[in-house]
Amino acid sequence: MVHEVGEIVTTTGDVDVVEEETHFNSASAQILIGEIIVCNRDLEMVKQNITDVQKK
C-alpha cells in the first residue's frame, strides 16, 4: 500500500509529515493559523525595513 505524504514546515524549522488523507482537526488548524500570523507579522516587519532603507 502506498500513501502520499505532505510536508508542513513551521517557522521554527520543524517539519511535520502528514498523510494526504489525514484531516486537520481544530487543534492542528489553530497551530497552522498561528504560524501564518507569525509569518505575516515577520513579512510586514521586513517590508517596513525595506521602506525605511529606501527612504534613507
Segment 22-40, tens digit of pLDDT: 566 788 888 889 999 999 9
Residue 13 CA to residue 7 CA, distance in Å, equals 12
Joined together, the cell numbers standing for residue 38 give 507569525
Q: What is the mean pLDDT of residues 37-47?
A: 93
CB contact set of 32 (below 8 Å; sequence gap of 6+) = 8, 24
| E strand residue ranges, 1-56 | 5-9, 15-19
pTM confidence score: 0.53
Cell of 45: 516587519
